[in-house]
Structure 1
């Protein structure tokens, strides 16, 4: 059997033994797509008709690590909504690209088609408070990079900058963002030249040169009105209070 066939067989075994009564499921991840490497896991979204609460669990079955997200239609809708709000379509992508399994594959296919349409529609426009918060975070880190820093500090700041800068570059161009190894993939899909510049900028930091990264960061901020620091104000929730730990009499 191929790796794909073996992975699907293992997934069906897991579904039968660990999740009796489920309605449908989606097997996803690099192994299912035929892109797996050593250590790659199988992502599975398992959908029941009704649950008390959704959960996630990880385990190893046979030769495969599994990461399983257990949902019902209402909790799955909540996670879709959360993915859309954040601009990281984690669960949405699993469903859209997953291999549909289970006794109610027709229902699973409806969800798969819906997820694919959400991906095609793209993320919410990056505007308002979300844009300002992202620009503020990037501006603050950029100011730190401009300071007189030793190598370990520069690399630490650059590591913090990697995610928000990628978010600005992707979401700011109407493309979905992601985390970890998804960032270079998504940048390549959006603009190969942009991805190359991004990669080179962080490569230069590892060699002690921050100028390339600073210039690229300034260029991205300028696409959205420039750096943002003065004027930032974010109100805390009204629930953000507790009985005082200190008795002042």
Structure 2
């Protein structure tokens, strides 16, 4: 039995044992795509009758770590909109690309259709303020990356990490593509832009392995040229958190 088949069987047992009254369930993530290992966790979306049980829950089942995404049929469309707004759409992708485990009344099939429509629609575009903020932050990180001596490896590595993350957010947004975190960051980055995405990752690797920021800095400069250029003096924004609280 392959790793994918074993994951499907185990996920099916879990849903039957813990959620016998569920309206449906789907296995997503690496396990559904045949990219998991025997120690990979399982990402399972479960549709419940009552929104009181909605939420994320991490458990261990038969010795394997499982991440449960629990939603009611009623709250799922609203939750999908919230998930899309984060520009990662974690649970949306579970339903859009996952393998259906159980679906007695067709609720999962309808959820899959909605999720696939959202994936095709893509993430919401950044606002003008978000673009300015992103350019400013990435410019600051780029300056720090260039100014930090290679002998200060701790600071250099942390700065390079921030550079890569901010650059990934802006490059994916430039292409109207989904972003990601963890192992999904390089996957989504390269999918959005094979050339610049790969160059960012290679530049980051050069910092990590050779303490050389040149390639990463050059690629970030190319990215900034695409989205309006470096932004330093002239940038401003209001303290929104204080405005919202009335202070």
Same fold flag (TM > 0.5): yes
Q: Deviations over 1:189-236 (max 9, x none)?
A: 233322321121111212121122111112111111112233221333
Output aligned runs, 1:130-209, within 5 Å: 130-149=130-149, 150-206=152-208, 207-209=210-212
Indicate how the Cα distance of structure 1 residues 198 and 38 shifts in structure 2: closer, same or farther if over 3 A, else same.
farther
Output aligned runs, 1:226-241, within 5 Å: 226-229=229-232, 230-237=234-241, 238-240=243-245
Please list every run of 5 or more consecutive structure 1 residues that lacks an aligned counterpart in the other structure. 243-249
Indicate how the Cα distance of structure 1 residues 84 and 211 shifts in structure 2: closer, same or farther if over 3 A, else same.
same
Q: In the aligned structure 2, how far is the partner of 1:137 from the partner of 1:53?
A: 38
CA contact (8 A) 1:26 1:95 kept: yes
Please list every run of 5 or more consecutive structure 2 residues that lacks an aligned counterpart in the other structure. none
CA contact (8 A) 2:4 2:36 kept: no
Indicate how the Cα distance of structure 1 residues 74 and 232 shifts in structure 2: closer, same or farther if over 3 A, else same.
farther
1:68 and 2:68 are equivalent in the alignment: yes
Q: TM-score, normalised by structure 2?
A: 0.89
The corresponding residue for 1:4 is 4
Deviation of 1:96 after TM superposition, in Å, equals 0.3
Q: In the aligned structure 2, how far is the partner of 1:99 from the partner of 1:195?
A: 29
Q: In the aligned structure 1, how far is the partner of 2:57 from the partner of 2:188?
A: 27
Q: Deviations over 1:16-37 (max 9, x none)?
A: 2222321111111212211112
Q: In the aligned structure 1, how far is the partner of 2:51 from the partner of 2:103?
A: 18
Q: TM-score, normalised by structure 1?
A: 0.88
Output aligned runs, 1:107-146, within 5 Å: 107-146=107-146
Indicate how the Cα distance of structure 1 residues 105 and 171 shifts in structure 2: closer, same or farther if over 3 A, else same.
farther
Deviation of 1:241 after TM superposition, in Å, equals 7.1
> What RMSD over aligned residues (CA atoms) do the two structures have, in Å?
2.0
Q: In the aligned structure 2, how far is the partner of 1:52 from the partner of 1:29?
A: 25
CA contact (8 A) 2:103 2:109 kept: no
- SS at structure 2 position matched to 1:123: coil
